[in-house]
Chains A and B, each alone.
Chain A
């Protein structure tokens, strides 16, 4: 372990991290946002799920520095009198949750399909990649909308609200797996012809073992880079779906839902309900994107 840490801190990755202030800021921002939303029930001034903690009387108050602003509500309140800062914290928790889980499930699905397609080749590969191609020609958001629409159509009404988050995760991961599958497949096809794989064949290792022990570790690099960039995309997709009204319900709002709620008040002057969750979303996604960008460049020796 100490050996590993030494290797890490002496290595190029750490060096390129330290030498880029933007990346450090992004990393800290990401960390703070993940941390504060994970512990939203401690960090947030109010619990937005506790009906006793908000009051319709407080509704639509502007941020504290404006006229009519109240010290208790730093960023103002929404139409139900909920503190906007608190809703943002709880909202990003749901956004991040959906983001993480959909990326992970898309990754697992994509890696398995990519490995199988890349290693076996032939008609298995042809069929799997044909499916991927068809799906790829449809934008992720459209697939997610469709999957969401279909599942909601199949589920009875009461279950929809409860299961909304899971439906979202399934919808987003079903629209994202293609990226991983294609990347893993093409790297697998490259790795498969390399001589260390042939050496393993000569030893007599069975195929599943070769795939897991030899090929998988060698194709993980690009997968991790995609995963970071996809995390940002997943958060955006979730927000978009929620904004369009097919995501999570207003009772357990994500950032997208908050923006949707606020959008109705945009023309009457209560801009803060939309703008602050919007900014939070942009900052979160931007930070993750900067990290992903940096990781891609740092892991790709050709660009240096």
Chain B
């Protein structure tokens, strides 16, 4: 986490000149110095860094250069949209991906699993933005069934604005969520399949067969559980990367989330937004890692070794 903070800070520090960003063309040298003083740019690097960290912990990321609005407010406004979108597609990806992966591993040569594998190969070859464009073209432009941009009607709960309470909100969610889920889903299918095939070759599965256990019990309580140990880490990472892939989806569907904010910030070299976004993503990853560790601990008894 600290590493991420360091990178974010370094970006803040060395990329672009905030003074010339904030100040207009015709400010005098004296005014510039004043601005510098006010921003604390004349302090030592260490002091600046500790101030940066302390502010970040309090949720204070500075003021956007372009929009002249505190970054905190911008993020707070956009965060629910991104979170709803990525949770929805994570849910979709897991719900479809895990059963498909297990099925293809168990019935390696059936035509259904072959077509699943072909589909997943296509899925992995489709760039996220293209899926979005094709969906828009078919369901939005040609068939005109679904809205192609925005979140639809949003209900404001004060601290959280949700699109999940209105029909148009749900309808707007469908295409972005699918777009975002496809890539993750194919990854999960392939991963589960590969790991499960690996587990099915182990001695303890052979021994379980030789003891006459039922195929159901072998597949699910013996093989799947062992498959999950390595898979959980990667799925954890994948769910994290959903948030990053949301950048693309959001820009295709003009979804008003953090990703869209970020991409606009890059275009305008709006450093405070960029570093705040980075910190937030870093934070999300740390949380996910923590959850993965806890899951590990519950699944794998070997990690619970008493000292």
Binding site for B on A (CB under 8 A): 134, 136-139, 141-142, 145-146, 148-150, 152-154, 232, 236, 239-240, 243-246, 259, 263, 266-267, 269, 271, 274-275, 278, 281-282, 285-286, 289-290, 293, 302-303
Chain B residue nearest in CB terms to A22: B118
> Min CB distance, A124 to chain B, in Å?
18
Residues of A near B4 (CB, < 8 A) are: 134
5 contacts between A and B (CB under 8 A): A137-B285, A145-B266, A232-B124, A240-B127, A269-B141
The complex places the Cα of A154 from the Cα of B13 at a distance, in Å, of 12
Q: B137 at interface (Cβ–Cβ under 8 A)?
A: yes
Is B166 an interface position by the 8 A CB rule? no
A interface footprint on B192-217 (CB within 8 Å = 1, 0 otherwise): 00000110010000000000000000
Top 6 closest A-B pairs, CB basis? A139-B241, A286-B125, A139-B244, A285-B125, A142-B244, A149-B266
A275 and B248 within 8 A (CB): no
Q: How far is the CA of A239 from the CA of B133 in the complex (A)?
A: 13
Nearest opposing residue in chain A for B127, CB measure: A236
Chain B proximity of A85: nearest CB distance (Å): 19
Q: How far is the CA of A236 from the CA of B252 in the complex (A)?
A: 15
- Which residues of chain B have C-beta atoms less than 8 A from A138's C-beta? 241, 244, 281, 285
Is the Cβ of A289 less than 8 Å from the Cβ of B134? Answer: no
CB of A153 within 8 A of CB of B16, answer yes
| Distance, CA A302 to CA B194, complexed state (A) | 11
Please pick, from B16, B129, B266, the residue contacting A246 in the complex, using a CB distance under 8 A: B266
A282 pairs with B247, CB closer than 8 A? no
CA distance A290 to B247 in the complex (A): 27
CA distance A243 to B240 in the complex (A): 22
Chain B residues, Cβ within 8 Å of A281: 127, 130
Residue among B11, B252, B281 making CB contact with A142, cutoff 8 Å: B281
Partner of B129, one of A153, A240, A266: A240
Give Cα A90 to B148, complex, Å: 31
A282 to B129, CA, bound (A): 11
Q: Taking beta carbons and an 8 Å cutoff, which residues of B are in contact with A?
A: 3-4, 11, 15-16, 121-122, 124-130, 133-134, 136-137, 141, 148, 197-198, 201, 237, 240-241, 244-245, 247-248, 251-252, 262-263, 266-267, 269, 271, 274, 278, 281, 285, 289
Q: How far is the CA of A303 from the CA of B133 in the complex (A)?
A: 37
Query: Are A303 and B137 in contact, CB atoms less than 8 angstroms apart?
Result: no
Contacts of A244 in B (CB 8 A): 129, 247-248, 251, 263
CB–CB A150/B127 < 8 A? no
- Interface SS of A by simple majority: helix
Q: Closest B-chain residue to A285, C-beta based?
A: B125
Report A91 CB to chain B, min CB distance, Å: 14
Measured between beta carbons, the chain A residues less than 8 angstroms from B247 are: 141-142, 145, 244
| B15 A271 Cβ-Cβ under 8 A | no
Minimum CB–CB distance from B31 to chain A (whole Å) comes to 23
CB atoms of B127 and A274 under 8 A apart: no
Report the separation of the CA atoms of residues A239 and B201 in the bound assembly, to the nearest whole angstrom: 39
Contacts of A232 in B (CB 8 A): 124-125
Which residue of B127, B136, B247, B278 has the most chain A CB atoms within 10 A of its CB atom?
B127
A150-B11, A302-B201 given; name 20 further pairs at CB < 8 Å: A134-B4, A137-B289, A139-B244, A141-B244, A145-B262, A145-B263, A148-B266, A149-B15, A149-B274, A153-B16, A244-B247, A244-B251, A244-B263, A246-B267, A259-B129, A266-B137, A267-B141, A278-B130, A286-B122, A289-B121
Contact with B133, one of A141, A142, A145, A278 (Cβ below 8 angstroms)? A278
Residues of B within 8 A of A150 (CB): 11, 15
A100 CA to B35 CA, complexed, in Å: 46
Query: Shortest distance in angstroms between B87's beta carbon and chain A's nearest beta carbon?
Result: 17
Chain A: CB-nearest residue to B285 = A137
By a CB distance below 8 angstroms, the chain B residues around A271 are: 137, 141
| Contact in complex: B141, A266 (CB < 8 Å) | yes
- A225, B169: Cα distance in complex, Å: 43
A259 touches B133 (CB 8 A): yes
Inside 8 A of A245's CB, which chain B residues have their CB? 263, 267
